[in-house]
Structure 1
Amino acid sequence: MNPRRPPLSHRLVRRLLSRGRSSLMQAEGLPAFAVAPDDVQVLGDPAAFRQALLALIAQATQRIILVALYLQDDDAGREVLDALYAARRRHPAMEVEVYVDWHRARRGLIGKLASEGNAALYRDYAQRFGDGVAIYGVPVQNRELFGVLHVKGFIIDDKVLYSGASLNDVYLARHGRYRLDRYHLIRHAGLADSMAGFAHRHLRGNEAVSRLDQRPLLATRDLQNAIRQLRRQLQDARYDAPHETVPTGQVAITPLIGFGRNANPLNETLLTLLRGARRRVVLFTPYFNLPRPVRAVLGQLLRRGCVIDIMVGDKAANDFYIPPHEPFRKIGLLPYLYESNLRRFARNHRAHIARGQLNLWLWRDGDNSYHVKGLLVDDEVAVITGNNFNPRAWALDLENGLLLRDPACQLTARHEAEWQMLRRHARRLDDYRALDNPRHYPGEVRTLLRRLSRVRLDRLLNRLL
């Protein structure tokens, strides 16, 4: 066997998603679950997401499996842990598991004092309340800089609550501030089984995956061989889904996973869906730093006459933004770097913007932040995902998403209502000059950007952050 040849499952994705067909036709060849349209619910805001999560945990009787980048040591994180332990006390035989990124759980917040991270909270709960909630740390790379567990999805009994959000005060709209994402609740036992089965097959029990709520905690250097094996396994991993004809009137939902730059089924599916767009694309990303293949496909769509809407966060709505009245730290450079990328893109496509074919939407609502991602293609295909559509997601992080195929357009009104809700706090850019010129950035930012550009480190940052 040729070791460089992509695995069979990846070659099948490429074959099934051939060029020259609409996005709906592209998706017809993929395995999928048939879901009744009434079992797909779009939640409107972070408060509704928090309410739904806590209600589902309180009602659970069979299983609770939460997968997220992190569960934070703050009021919202403790509220979720309290709910998990209470659910386990009500049903002692129930499976309750949480999967978070190994590295993210063992460090403090960026810019804060060094600490043991969220893992200290998990151990404290286990010592006080017993061993009812298993919390696993998943290291997909040896260092956080080079990739994290970015898989999302909460499986509670036969329901899947999917969002790109993690679990902390701002994602769950505690204390008056929120970080906006997208939120979908899907009721389907087969889809829930598939996503739970992935966690059990590929994460739980793997030598690289350790309990964070128990001592002793291994050092990352002691796991390097196991992490290497886990990476190899994840490159070939996929969700189980049936190859069945989806009946008329049902929505086809395909769970997708992707890891690594090459032969990545999630990346390949996203690209091919974009290539198949005929009329309209809506793309959400929190950090404007599109991978080169995505930029190339968007350029092709514009030349074909397709209408494209891209919604991003204003630099002040970026979670790394530092207001001018606060002391500047180097991490605060990132929002300006992303805005510079957006300004360059808008300048290159100013003719498409002028005639209304390309619509760039900038979201801002007070001091709240923006974390929305996903894809709408024509009126029939949607992708809900935690993928940020940036080079890091494309090559380094373990990502997943749900592809919704809706040939009868029964979800179109729900998607359109969500799109209108998101635009309430967004403005369309009429011209690239509506964005700040980098010459007017704060002095510390201008100095850093100039130094990075001189040695081309800005390109490296765009790939890693």
Structure 2
Amino acid sequence: MLYNIKKTYNNHFLYNKHNTFLTELPKITQKSSDFKILNSPKEFNYVLLNTISQAHKHICLVTLYLENDPGGKKILDTILEVKKNRPTIKINIIVDWYRAQRTRFGESIKYTNIHWYNNIIQNNPNIELSIFGLPIHFSEILGVLHLKGFIIDDTILYSGANLNNEYLHINDKYRYDRYYFIKNAQLSAIMLNYIEKNLINSKVIHNLDYKKSFLKKNNKNNIRLFRKFLKRTTYTYQNNANFNECSIIPLVGLGKNSILNKTIYHLISSVKQNMILCTPYFNIPYSLNRVLYSLLQQGKTVEIIVGDKTANDFYTPYQEYKSFKLINVLPYLYEINLRLFIQKLQNYIDNKQLIVRIWKKDHHGYHIKGIWIDDEWNLLTGSNLNPRSLKLDLENALLIHDPCHELIHQKYQELTQIRVFTKIITHYTSLQNISEYPVKIKRLILRIRKIKFDKLINQLL
């Protein structure tokens, strides 16, 4: 009896600690009438193009990549048309420097995105258009620009989506994400100020308007100093919302001790009844795994929605392999992670406390990330919630606080839409075992597990 009282007291104390952290975060007010969740990539593409075409003050697109394909070209063509009609509008596009220098995995085309950006600028000499490439580390594998949010005047279109055919659903295949349309002048100013002050004004950024930018290399020391700077830099703004009204908390960070990572930890730890977590790549860091176990032990409900291995953007059907690469193994490694996770927690699956859903729809992809806590908190982010995103990439998020349930209908509508093409896993044996994988995949996995190389892969990819 004494043990139970002590345990209850400790849980209550810890909850108050995490809730206090969330309470003290500075917040900005958000009108529910200016907040809309879009339900499909086609709708997102339409709204993005329409919002760009109506812009008057500024257009700032930050994305991992803007692809040289019909989807990406339509975005740039619309921006160029706006600039011709309204020459005073300010336009900045920032992409990851290393990602811009290569094509998609498995493609050998030598004409990369960086060549395309350069040609666009060279062919439009009378149009002032800034396209930047930003390195976050010495190599793409050690960290990328993974910020999300397209800032157009007083509107933010926030999604984990990048800009290409699949994310915008131009052809018959799409990659499913979350899509938020938010009107908020203060939020727009906060995000824009961070980008202009800390990214565009940095010493390491490449302006892609000169051919010599192909040869330009950043000094490693400058990049090292830039990473140190980003680790202690965050959005700066004044709190103007109370804890009992609808508000948004913009978060940004790099490294395991960032304000974003601390908020994710305290957010998950503050669960009263239930939480829902979405990630396309099941590779939950140990620190978050530990919290999930604790929640289950306290009798709380955890739902995880993850993509099937065939919905992974690294997945290639075995019969279509032109040349076998390590990247082809990643979807299988994520499935192995998930199978082991469920196996350890099978008893919580059995008593319905832990719900694991697998998303799969034909040949389409799944790219949804985020966390919902009770009916109060909603974390909208581009972070994959894996070791890489928590340590290596520059990430951001919008934490939406809805204590009066003004956005509850939209929340349920979004989650219902996500769950439509999911199936609930009732036993870990529902997922394939290594012995059932294609021969080349199985051999390589066994080899890398033997030398424990899979642990390094989980930290980097």
TM-score greater than 0.5 by the shorter chain: yes
Matched, 1:278 2:272: yes
In the alignment of these two chains, the number of paired residues is 446
What secondary structure sits across from 1:449 in the alignment? Answer: helix
What secondary structure sits across from 1:325 in the alignment? Answer: helix
Q: Which of 405, 411, 432 is matched with 1:409 structurally?
A: 405
d(CA) in 2 for partners of 1:258 and 1:456?
A: 30
Matched, 1:462 2:451: no
Equivalent residue, structure 2, for 1:343: 339
Deviation, structure 1 residue 219: 4.6
Contact 2:58 2:91 in 1 (8 A): yes
Equivalent residue, structure 2, for 1:103: 98
Deviation, structure 1 residue 19: 3.7
Contact 2:23 2:243 in 1 (8 A): no
d(CA) in 2 for partners of 1:361 and 1:22?
A: 31
Alignment CA distance shift 1:455-1:114 (3 Å): farther
d(CA) in 2 for partners of 1:177 and 1:213?
A: 33
d(CA) in 2 for partners of 1:23 and 1:112?
A: 46
Deviation, structure 1 residue 176: 1.1
Equivalent residue, structure 2, for 1:137: 133
Equivalent residue, structure 2, for 1:225: 221
1:42-441 matched pairs, under 5 angstroms = 42-113=37-108, 115-130=110-125, 131-217=127-213, 219=215, 221-246=217-242, 248=244, 250-261=245-256, 263-327=257-321, 328-441=324-437
d(CA) in 2 for partners of 1:444 and 1:132?
A: 51
What secondary structure sits across from 1:322 in the alignment? Answer: coil
d(CA) in 1 for partners of 2:112 and 2:298?
A: 49
Contact 1:149 1:399 in 2 (8 A): yes
Deviation readout 1:304-343 (Å, 9 max, x if unpaired): 1111110000001001111122124331100000000000
What secondary structure sits across from 1:194 in the alignment? Answer: helix
Equivalent residue, structure 2, for 1:38: 33
d(CA) in 1 for partners of 2:286 and 2:417?
A: 30
Deviation, structure 1 residue 153: 0.5
What secondary structure sits across from 2:165 in the alignment? Answer: coil
Q: Percent identity?
A: 36
d(CA) in 2 for partners of 1:220 and 1:358?
A: 51
Matched, 1:451 2:447: yes
d(CA) in 2 for partners of 1:419 and 1:55?
A: 26
- Unaligned 5+ residue runs, structure 2? 1-12
Matched, 1:29 2:8: no
- Unaligned 5+ residue runs, structure 1? 1-17
d(CA) in 1 for partners of 2:16 and 2:414?
A: 27
d(CA) in 2 for partners of 1:444 and 1:213?
A: 44
Deviation, structure 1 residue 112: 1.6
Deviation, structure 1 residue 26: 3.9
Deviation, structure 1 residue 20: 2.2
The AA in structure 2 aligned to 1:70 is Y
Worse-matched range after superposition: 144-153 or 23-32: 23-32
What secondary structure sits across from 1:86 in the alignment? Answer: helix
Deviation, structure 1 residue 230: 1.2
Contact 1:63 1:96 in 2 (8 A): yes
The AA in structure 1 aligned to 2:318 is P
Worse-matched range after superposition: 187-196 or 208-217: 208-217
Equivalent residue, structure 2, for 1:12: none
Equivalent residue, structure 1, for 2:4: none
Worse-matched range after superposition: 128-137 or 138-147: 128-137
What secondary structure sits across from 1:216 in the alignment? Answer: helix
Scaled by the length of structure 2, the TM-score of the pair is 0.94
d(CA) in 2 for partners of 1:113 and 1:421?
A: 36
d(CA) in 2 for partners of 1:42 and 1:23?
A: 28
Deviation readout 1:222-272 (Å, 9 max, x if unpaired): 432221221111111111221234385x411011011012x2111110010
d(CA) in 2 for partners of 1:331 and 1:234?
A: 29
